[in-house]
Structure 1
Amino acid sequence: MPQRTLSVWKFSDPEGADTALKMVRQLARINLINMYDAATVYWEQDEKKPRTQQLSSLTGSGALGGSFWGMLFGMVFFTPLVGAAIGATTGASSGALTPVGIGDAFINRVRDGVTPGTSALFILSSDAVVDRIRDIFAGHEAPELIYTNLSAEREATLRDIFGKN
């Protein structure tokens, strides 16, 4: 199994994630990236909280599922109490995700970066041709990249936590 990466591409406007998703899907069609699961976050300037969406067309083999995205987004974008309540309910918390590479530093970096007036594209992928991905953003404002690599063991642990084997 190839090593997978959980990437977060942060954009300086609410529409950036949608535009980037279209470009990344084009790269996936020509096998320059394998996209297993993805979700987007859109945060309008005047809203109190962001809107999130898992890309349901990617569910199936390799997808992490809605419970993973719900917990991650709860820990990142909603109050720490909500994140803790979700963690207690599912038997996982940010501490439980630390062994799979999703620790407080990752969560805080996303929380600090994705704020009102921005958007983010979250992608679980492998085999990315990084130079070609960088090329798709030529002529566009370059997004900030936040990522963590998931070894096969980390991914298996993550799937065990969320019941997706």
Structure 2
Amino acid sequence: MSDLVFIAFPSEQKAEEVRQKVLGLQREYLIELEDAVVVVKDENGRVKLNQLLNPTATGAVSGALWGTLIGFIFLMPLVGTALGAASGALGGKLTDYGINDAFMKDAASALQPGMGGLFLLIRKMTADKVLADLEGIGGTVVRTSLDGKAEAALREAIAGQVASGTDDKAATQP
């Protein structure tokens, strides 16, 4: 089962910076994400989603490839490419991977204008190492599906209040 975390930040840039940090942790195999979306509430109150994967573009590229191949069979590759790209884009637009877009827009409506947020859908993680890397990033935990103990640990880490398990003397010795 996956866990959902929504963290609010003072700006879109800070939310994107933290997302890149979390993606770096994923490359180190410390966390496994299903989705990571930056949301922004603009000055007019509209919520914009900045997703990792654009299903419309992906569908258009895939559809164009298959349309071209099928078009070659019927000796009309350009028509096949155009029809394939259009149908792929439509299919991609109707597809929603990861976190539900309507849910994210509803949750992000609680943000103040100009603020950003980060939604993480976490499949699994090495909690102690991830929390240590996220220590002191700032932000406010808005919602989670974590249990009470894990949520409290996340709030403490983000605020920079995690007690390190090492002795100060040991940390300064070579």
TM-score bracket relative to the smaller structure: 0.5 to 0.7
Higher-Rg structure is: 2
Alignment pair present for 1:38 and 2:36: yes
Structure 2 letter corresponding to 1:131: D
Which residue number corresponds to residue 15 of structure 1? Answer: 13
Structure 1 letter corresponding to 2:116: S
Q: What TM-score does the superposition give when structure 1 sets the normalisation length?
A: 0.53
Alignment match of 1:73 (pick from 100, 104, 119): 104
Tell me the CA shift for residue 68 of structure 1: 5.3
Which residue number corresponds to residue 134 of structure 2? Answer: 137
Tell me the CA shift for residue 139 of structure 1: 4.6
Number of residue pairs matched by the alignment: 108
Using the alignment, how far apart are the partners of 2:98 and 2:135 within structure 1? 34
Aligned partner of residue 137 in structure 2, secondary structure: coil
Structure 2 matches for 1:110-125, cutoff 5 A? 111-112=109-110, 114-125=111-122
* Alignment check: 8 A CA contact 2:15 2:38 kept: yes
Using the alignment, how far apart are the partners of 1:40 and 1:116 within structure 2? 14
Which residue number corresponds to residue 104 of structure 1? Answer: none
Listed as ranges, the gaps of 5+ residues in structure 2 are 59-94, 147-174
Using the alignment, how far apart are the partners of 1:131 and 1:67 within structure 2? 25
* Alignment check: 8 A CA contact 2:38 2:118 kept: yes
Using the alignment, how far apart are the partners of 2:142 and 2:30 within structure 1? 18
Tell me the CA shift for residue 72 of structure 1: 1.5
Give the % identical residues: 19
Using the alignment, how far apart are the partners of 2:119 and 2:35 within structure 1? 8
Tell me the CA shift for residue 137 of structure 1: 3.1
Superposed CA deviations along residues 26-48 of structure 1, whole A, max 9, x for unmatched, are 1111111111122210224x333
Q: CA RMSD in A?
A: 2.9
Structure 2 letter corresponding to 1:48: G
Listed as ranges, the gaps of 5+ residues in structure 1 are 77-106, 150-165
* Alignment check: 8 A CA contact 1:14 1:118 kept: yes
User: Structure 1 residues 52, 28: CA separation in 2 closer, same or farther (over 3 Å shift)?
Assistant: same
Using the alignment, how far apart are the partners of 1:147 and 1:6 within structure 2? 5
Alignment match of 2:49 (pick from 49, 52, 55): 52
Superposed CA deviations along residues 108-162 of structure 1, whole A, max 9, x for unmatched, are xx543x221211111111222233333233353244252115xxxxxxxxxxxxx
Superposed CA deviations along residues 66-98 of structure 1, whole A, max 9, x for unmatched, are 595332234x1xxxxxxxxxxxxxxxxxxxxxx
Aligned partner of residue 28 in structure 1, secondary structure: helix
Q: What TM-score does the superposition give when structure 2 sets the normalisation length?
A: 0.51
